[in-house]
Amino acid sequence: MPLAALCGFMAEARLARRFGLIAFATGGDAARGRVLAAQAAETADGLISFGIAGGLAPRLAAGTLLLPRMVIAGNDERLTADSRLHRSFLAALAAAGLHAETGDLLALEAIVATPHAKAMQHAQYGALAVDLESQHAARAARAVGKPFLVLRAIADPARRGLPPAALVGLHPSGRTAPGRVLASLLRQPGQIPDLVATARDTKRALATLRTALTAIGGTL
């Protein structure tokens, strides 16, 4: 049985499936994430938290690849990635000339949307980035004695916040919710440049992930 990928967005899940992974999209919902992670852990050989992440370290640009050695959950719980799988992925990336940041990732149950909030989280935890799925994947894998790993890329850098439309634009299935996005834009049309920048950097992050999966190849 192949590895399973726990993602937030359906676009991330589709990408993972192209490379032979079983993939689940949580839609950014914590309860759904816990359920899907448990299901994935029971059926797959291991779990990968896969997709985009929000930058916390100011030095990291959009598109930066992340292969964290440790996930810090919101209650300061430390969840260590599988060392064998981590070394294998890191070696495959290096062989393809790709660099991945290996510092800690913070996993929360709510989006960190503003530069100020990102700075606060970075100061408290020292993590490179933040996401919503990694703690669910890590805990579910640990519960059944299977390996887990995180493979992410930064979409929104630390110095840039997320516009309101980006915060409401995700359906619980993980698909985009264009009606919600349009309604938000009609209320606040001034956010359009920020939304365009968010879409551009998300595309950059997904391209990084596609390159990384291509390099990892047979390791999956």
Average pLDDT over residues 43-72: 97
139: nearest Cα among 56, 2, 33: 33
Q: How many CB atoms lie within 10 A of CB 77?
A: 12
User: Which tokens in the block code for residue 20?
Assistant: 């032979």
User: Which tokens in the block code for residue 32?
Assistant: 């759904």
Domain boundaries, the chain: 4-219
Give the C-alpha distances (Å, rounded to integers) separating 81 from 135, 158, 159, 161, 206.
Answer: 11, 24, 27, 28, 22
Using pLDDT thresholds of 50, 70 and 90, give the confidence band for residue 2: confident
Q: What is the pLDDT of residues 141-178, one digit of tens each?
A: 999 999 999 999 999 999 999 988 787 766 676 677 77
d(CA 83, CA 165): 38
What pLDDT is recorded for position 192? Answer: 86
For residue 52, list its beta bridge partners: 153
What pLDDT is recorded for position 166? Answer: 81
What pLDDT is recorded for position 169? Answer: 62
Give the C-alpha distances (Å, rounded to integers) separating 109 from 126, 172, 204.
Answer: 18, 14, 24
What pLDDT is recorded for position 182? Answer: 79
What pLDDT is recorded for position 168? Answer: 76
Q: In sequence order, what are the residues at sequence separation of 6 or more whose Cβ sits closer than 8 angstroms to the Cβ of residue 21?
A: 2, 3, 4, 5, 48, 50, 220
Using pLDDT thresholds of 50, 70 and 90, give the confidence band for residue 139: very high
User: Which homologous superfamily is 4-219 in?
Assistant: Nucleoside phosphorylase domain (3.40.50.1580)
Instruction: State yes or no: pLDDT of 79 exceeds 70.
Output: yes
Question: b or e along 126-150 (b: 16 or more beta carbons within 10 Å of the residue's beta carbon)?
Answer: ebbbbbbbbbbbbbbbeeeebbbbb
Residue 104: strand, helix, or coil: coil
Residue 112: strand, helix, or coil: coil
User: Which tokens in the block code for residue 166?
Assistant: 């980006």
User: For 187, which DSSP code?
Assistant: H
Q: To the nearest whole number, what is the mean pLDDT of the chain? A: 92
Q: What is the pLDDT of residues 170-216, one digit of tens each?
A: 667 667 777 887 787 789 988 888 889 999 999 999 999 999 999 99
Instruction: State yes or no: pLDDT of 107 exceeds 70.
Output: yes
What pLDDT is recorded for position 111? Answer: 92
**pTM of the full predicted structure?**
0.93
Which of 68-82, 124-138, 179-193, 200-214 bottoms out in mean pLDDT, i.e. has the lowest? 179-193
The backbone torsions φ and ψ at residue 27, rounded to the nearest 5 degrees and listed phi first, read 70, 15
Using pLDDT thresholds of 50, 70 and 90, give the confidence band for residue 1: low
